[in-house]
Amino acid sequence: MRGVITALLLSALTVSAWAAPVAVPGMRLSQPSDRAEISGVVAAQLVAIRTEDWDNAYAYTASTFRHVTSQTAFVTLITRNFEVICRNTKADFGAPSDNGQTAIMPVRVFADGKSVSYTWTLARENGRWKITGVVAQRTNRAS
């Protein structure tokens, strides 16, 4: 139990670190191939979460995240703190930025007449983009 609480706290700290735009050295608009992969990873995780395919949703996370967050803690974190993501029906993807190792992906997610702007952070791991965190930016009414 202590391990789960520690993992949740560490996850919350990881996510909250991205609450405001972070200056990451060398960030630039992602190249088309990275842009496609980054948005594809986030879109696939959104589908997995919506369909409660927790194995796949967790598989999209980076090893650094999985080191401090068990799959059970991940599910708890998502279901308790990311209601719109859990019931997502639509997502508008912004333009991702990266520096070759770290990426930031803005996404507006819609569900149940609400929308929330999120920022996903990703890390390149063995040549693939993996999710390291997500944070809500603001809540709006869907139009």
> Domain 2-141 falls in which CATH fold?
Nuclear Transport Factor 2; Chain: A, (3.10.450)
Domain extents in the chain: 2-141
Q: Are 73 and 14 in contact (CB under 8 A)?
A: no
* Rg, the chain, Cα only: 14
Q: Answer positive or negative: Cα dihedral of 121, 45, 136, 32.
A: positive
From 101, 117, 100, select the one nearest 109 (Cα to Cα): 117
Q: What would the pLDDT profile of 52-104 be if each residue is shown by its tens digit?
A: 999 999 999 999 999 999 999 999 999 999 999 999 999 999 999 999 999 99
Higher pLDDT, 59 or 8: 59
Determine the Cα angle at 133 with ends 103 and 76, to 5°: 160
